[in-house]
Structure 1
Amino acid sequence: MKFLLLSILISVAAAKISTIKVTGTVLCRKQKQPGLEVVLKESDSFTPDDKLSQTTTNKDGFFEISGQDDEWGSIEPYVYIFHHCRILKEGCRTRSRYDVPQPVINGVYEMSYIDLDIAQSGETYEC
Structure 2
Amino acid sequence: MKILICSLLLICGAIAFRTQSTGVKGKLVCGSKPATGVNLKLFDEDNGPDPDDVLDQKTTDSEGNFFLSGSSMELTPIDPELRIFHDCNDQGSPCQREWVIRIPAKYITNGPEVKEVMDLGVLNLEVELDNESRSCTH
Question: Which TM-score tier does this pair reach, normalised by the shorter chain?
Answer: 0.7 to 0.9
Identity %: 26
Which of 96, 105, 117 in structure 2 is aligned with 1:108? 117
Equivalents in 2 of 1:4, 1:120: separation in Å? 51
Moved segments of 4+, more than 4 Å: 1-6
Instruction: State whether residues 24 and 63 of structure 1, in contact with CA within 8 Å, keep that contact through their aligned partners in structure 2.
Output: yes
Unaligned runs of 5+ in 2: 110-115
In structure 2, what is the equivalent of residue 99 of structure 1? 102
2:15 is equivalent to residue 13 of structure 1: yes
**Any residues of structure 2 matched to 1:1-127 within 5 Å, and which?**
6-46=8-48, 47-89=50-92, 91-106=94-109, 107-127=116-136
Instruction: State whether residues 85 and 135 of structure 2, in contact with CA within 8 Å, keep that contact through their aligned partners in structure 1.
Output: no
* Greater Rg by CA: 2
Deviations 1:29-86 (A, max 9, x none): 1321011111010011221110111101000000011100112232110111110012
Q: Which amino acid aligns with 1:11?
A: G
* 31-40 or 91-100, larger mean C-alpha shift: 91-100
Unaligned runs of 5+ in 1: none
For residues 10 and 95 of structure 1, do their structure 2 counterparts lie closer, same or farther at Cα, with a shift above 3 Å needed?
Answer: same
Equivalents in 1 of 2:97, 2:6: separation in Å? 45
For the aligned residue pairs, the C-alpha RMSD in angstroms reads 2.0
For residues 35 and 112 of structure 1, do their structure 2 counterparts lie closer, same or farther at Cα, with a shift above 3 Å needed?
Answer: same
Equivalents in 2 of 1:5, 1:120: separation in Å? 51
Q: Which amino acid aligns with 2:126?
A: D
The alignment of Structure 1 onto Structure 2 pairs a total of residues equal to 127
| TM-score of the pair, normalised by structure 1 | 0.87
SS in 2 for 1:82: strand
Equivalents in 2 of 1:121, 1:51: separation in Å? 25
Q: Which amino acid aligns with 1:22?
A: V
